[in-house]
Amino acid sequence: MKAVLVGIWNRDIPKEEAKESLRELKGLVEALGGVSLGYILQNRNKPDTRYFIGAGKAEELREVLRGTGADAVVFDDFLTPSQVKNLEKLVGKTVLDRTDLVIEIFSRRAKSKEAKLQVELARLTHELPRLYGKGKAMSRLGGGVGTRGPGEQETEIRRRLIKKRIHQIREELEEVRKMRKHQRKRRERESGETLLKVALVGYTNAGKSTLLKALTGRETFTADMLFATLDTKTSARVVSPDMKILFTDTVGFIKKLPPELIESFKATLEEVTEADIILHVVDISDDRWLDYIHTVRDILKELSADEKPVIYVLNKADKIVDSEEEMRHLPHGAFVEGRAVVVSSEKRWGLEDLIGEIQSLGEKVLGITATGGHI
């Protein structure tokens, strides 16, 4: 895919922020093995109902696409089905939005049956409303005004099939959810010691899986790419004779995460809502780290998990300073509310402090006194 990117800026979204978002969109295009040839940014308060950008800008876009030899255009925001249709007609190239890219990346990364089902559900939910628009367009080509053309009939059949499949997937995922719940219960029953459930959350590429590996020794797939992890993985660490911590790694978050995906990944993300403590992992070597914290918090809110006790794990300190000693003087912890520990998961700096912090908060959350008895 050789793509031109399109975004808008206005009173609410300053130009710099819009540019930043386009840089991230470029990362998504690259995650799919594509290249971005450039971008168009328009100052616009409200998206145009027909083309999202203004009609004049849309014409300009067509010329840019021709001039650069691009085969696709990617919009940074959600497009309505009719905007996609109008744009494709005008520019004659594939028109995609951020949601399309994220769903495509997820679908390529999905390995387990559960992740695959969840991605399929997101894709179908995304596709369904777009089918109506396409059906009308097809029937205009096929049949006369007011009659039901062959296009529309086809769409109707496809629509019914999709709805049926959505229903089927939801049922299968419900089974998965029940099984997970059952497993959680069994884990708790079988284990004699106190179990502290800790979920690792954070922006994609923050270092969650690397931290899980550093804390528990469990090998998981880590990579310098967006959305490396799509499945939750749980592994344990015994911290004292009477406490065992269960760490669960989760899928990374991103700005403008398609609601279809959040909805579809609810079963996976249930590990977050079931956790006693959340470790919010942050890449502090990225200039946008404070901004990312807000994005992640917003998504936690959507999952009704924003009231949970949180420890901020300010990761990748080794990219800012040269030694663990220097790391202790970093001011980052003062910028976040509540508990925060600066670490480097890769160099294993600060992990003991982190474990101590988890343990002390854990005892508070579970209502255990320092001697191990319940209050």
Ligand X SMILES: Nc1nc2c(ncn2[C@@H]2O[C@H](COP(=O)(O)OP(=O)(O)OP(=O)(O)O)[C@@H](O)[C@H]2O)c(=O)[nH]1
Whether the CB-CB separation of 366 and 309 falls below 8 Å is answered with: no
Q: Pick one of ligand X, Mg ion, none as the site partner of residue 202 (Cβ within 5 to 8 A by kind).
A: ligand X
Nearest residue (CB) to Mg ion, 228 versus 246: 228
Taking CB atoms, the residue at the shortest distance from Mg ion is: 229
- CA-to-CA distance for 219 and 210, rounded, in angstroms? 9
- In angstroms, the Cα distances linking 271 to 181, 264, 321 are 9, 14, 34
Residue 217-256 contact track with Mg ion, rule CB under 5 A, x = bound: -----------xx---------------------------
Q: For the CB of residue 279, give the shortest distance to Mg ion in the complex, in Å.
A: 13
Q: Pick one of Mg ion, ligand X, none as the site partner of residue 223 (Cβ within 5 to 8 A by kind).
A: ligand X
Whether the CB-CB separation of 263 and 125 falls below 8 Å is answered with: yes
* Number of helices (H), then strands (E), in the chain: 12, 10
Specify the amino acid at residue 178. K
For residues 284-306, one letter each, b for 16 or more C-beta atoms within 10 angstroms of the residue's C-beta and e for the rest, the string is beeebbeebbebbeebbeebebe
Nearest residue (CB) to Mg ion, 64 versus 246: 246
Nearest residue (CB) to ligand X, 72 versus 214: 214
Q: Pick one of ligand X, Mg ion, none as the site partner of residue 308 (Cβ within 5 to 8 A by kind).
A: none
Could you say which DSSP state residue 344 is in? Answer: B
Q: For the CB of residue 226, give the shortest distance to ligand X in the complex, in Å.
A: 6
Q: For the CB of residue 20, give the shortest distance to ligand X in the complex, in Å.
A: 19
Nearest residue (CB) to Mg ion, 211 versus 310: 211
- CA-to-CA distance for 265 and 252, rounded, in angstroms? 11
Start-to-end CA span in the chain (Å): 60
Nearest residue (CB) to ligand X, 57 versus 208: 208
Q: For the CB of residue 333, give the shortest distance to Mg ion in the complex, in Å.
A: 23
Residue numbers at the binding site for ligand X (CB under 6 A): 202, 204-210, 222-224, 226-229, 252, 315-316, 318-319, 344-346
Q: Pick one of Mg ion, ligand X, none as the site partner of residue 8 (Cβ within 5 to 8 A by kind).
A: none
115 near Mg ion, rule: CB under 5 A:
no
Could you say which DSSP state residue 198 is in? Answer: E
Q: Which positions from 175 through 214 interact with Mg ion, judged by CB under 5 A?
A: 208-209
Nearest residue (CB) to Mg ion, 155 versus 209: 209
Nearest residue (CB) to ligand X, 53 versus 228: 228
Q: Pick one of Mg ion, ligand X, none as the site partner of residue 93 (Cβ within 5 to 8 A by kind).
A: none
154 CB burial (10 A radius; 0-12, 13-18, 19+): middle
Taking CB atoms, the residue at the shortest distance from ligand X is: 252
Q: Pick one of ligand X, Mg ion, none as the site partner of residue 207 (Cβ within 5 to 8 A by kind).
A: ligand X
Q: Pick one of Mg ion, ligand X, none as the site partner of residue 248 (Cβ within 5 to 8 A by kind).
A: none
Specify the amino acid at residue 364. K
Comparing CA positions, the residue from 54, 53, 65 lying closest to residue 92 is 65
Whether the CB-CB separation of 104 and 123 falls below 8 Å is answered with: no
The dihedral formed by the CA atoms of 108, 111, 113 and 117, expressed in degrees to the nearest 10: -20
- Contact residues toward Mg ion (CB under 5 A) are 208-209, 228-229
